[in-house]
Each structure stands twice: as structure tokens, then as C-alpha cells.
Amino acid sequence: MEPASHSFEELLDFTLKRMEAMKKEGVRWVSVNPDWLSPLEPANYHSPVQEREKSDSTSPSAPPTPRSREVPPLSGLQKPALKTGERKIDSSGPETANPTSSRNQLAAPKAKTKPLDLQKLSDQELNAGMDRLRAEALQCQKCPHLAESRRNVVFGVGNINADLMFVGEAPGMDEDLQGEPFVGKAGQLLTKIIEAMGLSREEVYIGNALKCRPDTPGQAYGNRKPTPDEIANCLPFIEKQVELIRPKALVALGASAVEALYGEKVYITRIRGQRRDYRGIPLMPTFHPSYLLRNSSHAVKRLVWEDMLEVMEILGMPISEKQQGYFKK
């Protein structure tokens, strides 16, 4: 057996054994670094055998490998069927979902696409509309399991007249406790990013696609990705917030935020930095700050910063030489 194949199988065996052990210990959710799973995306994954075939096919004499053979079933990664009483470990997190799994397909209703009237509302209309929406969210029970487990509905925070609005995924533990989005470590990093842009947290608006913390029964800590049903239930709130605020630019933090707003499956590593249009508003997809906490290389920080520089351009903000040079080395 060739060394590459040997180490792959050993690693796979070790991973499966470890997950089985965790499952027996009652763990239901594990978070996985998106970068580790990126090679397993159907478009990227090649078994060791296929990797060899691919490299063979690059030799002048080898015939080209048909595209269909580059997307194998992940049969080697499938876990044995669960026995009665065993609980499923869900490894889905940002970008970790298998796009062919029905659990990870976004459920109807689809996101709104109709262009918005971007003329700002009067203060009176805006305040009344936001108050009504907040009151509705605070008593929302559309996801009974989340309504039961939440400590607070995390509606949103900031300037409802803002030109810039950030949309994240869902509240975590700190946010659930304080009732405010992005107050944990990732939130502190987001605040630094906002300040590096020359703005304050109070000048922008920050909200999440999901207003209640995704529950993790049996676990005091840890986060999980919202399910498509939860996102579908909650989507009208963030849509309405955008409709009321009518910002000049949106920043979607992480894959889940983009998926919620557009109703489509995305991989943030592929689409970040590519300016989009959300109902007439320029939208910049970028990495979630929690990804930056796990991948704090200058290169990744620079990517996010370049996204923010583009947002500043969209907003017509002045950009200093110092700002231009952040994270360039």
C-alpha cells in the first residue's frame, strides 16, 4: 500500500472510532474546522485511488479522466447505522454540511428577492415598525424547542438608521445570556473590525438570521448550525429588519447568513469577497469572525479586511493609507 493511502485510511479509522466513543459519551454535536472539510466537498474530494488516477491522467500518454469519476460517493466516510437508543452525532457547522443531504437543503419558504424601495423611512415609521417587529420576535414560539431553551430572544442591536448592516448566523451562549448579538469573543472581534473601518458599533446595525440560540440538549456548552426549518421560521424577521433599515450596504458573516438571505447552499470559501446584490442592496459575503478566531493568519485577516475595504468604497467612506495597509505584512 502506498504511504498516502495508508495514512488516509488510518486517519479515517481513527476519526470514526473517536466519533463512536464520543457518541457513547452522549455528545450530540461536534464542531469541525471548515478548512478540514473543504477537501471532502463533492467537487474537491478525491479518494487516494482517484488522486493517483488524476495524477496519472496528467501524463502525456494517459487518456483524460471523465469528470463524473472525480465525484465519488463518500461511502468510505459513512458511519454504521445507529443501533436503537444510540444518538446521532451531528458534525454540521459552518460549511460542514454535505450538500447532498436532505437535512442540509434549505427548506421552503424561499428567501424574498423582490427589489426594495431604498428610500429611507421617516423616523416615526422606522421606530414604529421596528418596535412592532421586536415585540413580535420577543414572544415568538415558531420553534418551540428554541423558545423553551432560550434565555433571551436576540433581536438585533445598533442604529436602525444605519447605512451599514451586518448579518450573522445565530446567537451563541453569551448572546443568549445578554440578549445582544455578537458580544462574545467573535463579537469583540467584529467590534474591532467595525472600529478599524472608522465606525463604531453604535453607528451600524447588527442582527442574526436566527434570533434564538440553537439548542444543544444535554450539553452546557457548544454551538450548532441552525437547521433549515429554524432558518425558514425566522427568516421573515431579518428580512423585515433589512426592509425597515434599508442600509446602503450589507455584510453577511459566514455561509449561514448568505444561505438564509438567498435561500441557496453556498460555500463561503468560494464566494467570500464576491459582491452580490440583495434586493437592490450591495451585499458582501465574508468570513464569520469566529472563523477568524480559529484561523488567525495574516492572510485570512487580510481577506476579510479587503472585503471591508470594498464595503467602505461602496459606502463612499474615505480610506487612509494606514487602512489600506492593514495585514499586508
* Closest CB to ligand SF4 among residues 252, 314: 252
Give me the least distance between CB of 233 and ligand SF4, in Å please. 4
Could you tell me whether strands 276-278 and 249-253 are parallel, antiparallel, or unpaired per DSSP bridges? unpaired
Which residue of 147, 173, 177, 315 would you call a contact of ligand SF4, by CB under 6 A?
A: 147
- Letters for 18-37 (x = contact with ligand SF4 by CB under 6 A, - = none) are --------------------
Is 143 a binding residue for ligand SF4 by CB under 6 A? The answer is: yes
Please work out the total of residues on this chain that contact ligand SF4, with binding judged by CB under 6 A.
Answer: 14
Where do runs of H (alpha helix) occur along the chain?
3-24, 34-37, 48-57, 123-138, 144-149, 173-178, 185-196, 228-245, 255-262, 268-271, 289-294, 298-314, 321-325
* Closest CB to ligand SF4 among residues 5, 149: 149
Q: For the purposes of burial, counting CB atoms within 10 Å of the CB of 207, is it exposed (0-12), middle (13-18) or buried (19 or more)?
A: buried
Stretch 200-219 residues interacting with ligand SF4 (CB under 6 A): 210-212
Query: What's the count of helices (H) and strands (E) in the chain, helices before strands?
Result: 13, 6
Cβ 201 vs Cβ 158: under 8 Å? yes
Which residue of 97, 137, 258, 260 would you call a contact of ligand SF4, by CB under 6 A?
A: 137
Q: For the purposes of burial, counting CB atoms within 10 Å of the CB of 216, is it exposed (0-12), middle (13-18) or buried (19 or more)?
A: middle
Q: CA dist 112 to 41, 208, 216, Å?
A: 28, 16, 29
Determine the interface stretch with ligand SF4 among 78-86, 90-98, 133-141, 304-312 (rule: CB under 6 A).
133-141
Helix (H, G, I), strand (E, B) or coil at 288: coil
* Closest CB to ligand SF4 among residues 222, 236: 236
Is 146 a binding residue for ligand SF4 by CB under 6 A? The answer is: yes
Give me the least distance between CB of 240 and ligand SF4, in Å please. 12
How many angstroms separate the CA atoms of 215 and 210, rounded? 12
Give me the least distance between CB of 289 and ligand SF4, in Å please. 21
Could you tell me whether strands 281-286 and 249-253 are parallel, antiparallel, or unpaired per DSSP bridges? parallel
Give me the least distance between CB of 321 and ligand SF4, in Å please. 43
Is 107 a binding residue for ligand SF4 by CB under 6 A? The answer is: no
- Letters for 225-254 (x = contact with ligand SF4 by CB under 6 A, - = none) are -----x--xx--------------------
* Diameter over CA atoms, the chain: 73
Give me the least distance between CB of 110 and ligand SF4, in Å please. 16
Give me the least distance between CB of 191 and ligand SF4, in Å please. 24
Give me the least distance between CB of 114 and ligand SF4, in Å please. 21
Give me the least distance between CB of 261 and ligand SF4, in Å please. 15
Helix (H, G, I), strand (E, B) or coil at 133: helix
Contacts of 108 (CB under 8 A, 6+ apart): 232
Residue 40: how many other CB atoms lie within 10 Å: 13
Contact positions vs ligand SF4 (CB under 6 A): 137, 140-143, 146-147, 153, 210-212, 230, 233-234
